[in-house]
Amino acid sequence: MNMDLIRDLFARDRYAAHSGIELVSVAPGQATARMVIQPCHLNGFGTVQGGAIFTLADFAFAAASNAQGQAAVAINVSISFMTAARTGTLTANARELSKNSKTGAYTVDIVDDQGRMVAVFQGLVFRKRETVEEMMALVTQAAQQQQ
């Protein structure tokens, strides 16, 4: 699989960019993403909002599962929060646990700058018939038709 194509796909993710999430590395079945904690990520208690952590984990999960080349979409996910984070950088490390022609199981560890486990995310994807490249072409075509 062409990893430049995967990087291009995830560079298109406006929500992740808006959230300050960066794709650090990607390879088939694995990905690393990070997010520098900003005031907009904090909840009323001054800790990183669960939705911000979930978004970081989900982004790494999507990159790892789509790096196989076949389009993959989430069908079930869960997250467990271990400790609060307030400052610094959060890093999400996604890895594939198993895959077959229809599904794939992944886990994502979210750690802080000190290596403390902030959260653990688990996800299951459905593998579509289309490749990532075919899906990107369909999205580009639809966007051109809307103009």
Contact 21, 59 (CB under 8 A): yes
Q: Which amino acid belongs to residue 34?
A: R
51-76 per-position pLDDT tens digit = 999 999 999 999 999 999 999 999 99
- What totals of helices (H) and strands (E) does the chain contain, helices first? 4, 6
27-40 per-position pLDDT tens digit = 999 999 999 999 99
Extents of the domains making up the chain? 3-146
Alpha carbon of 21 to those of 73, 123, 137, 145: distances in Å? 19, 19, 24, 29
Distance, in Å, from the CA atom of 124 to the CA atom of 78, rounded to the nearest integer, reads 9
Choosing among 3.20.20.60, 1.10.10.10, 3.10.129.10, 3.40.1390.10, the CATH entry for 3-146 is 3.10.129.10
Distance, in Å, from the CA atom of 5 to the CA atom of 74, rounded to the nearest integer, reads 20
Distance of CA 5 to the CA centre of its chain: 16
Q: Which amino acid belongs to residue 136?
A: M
Contact 37, 111 (CB under 8 A): no
106-116 per-position pLDDT tens digit = 999 999 999 99
Give the pLDDT band (50/70/90) at residue 3.
confident
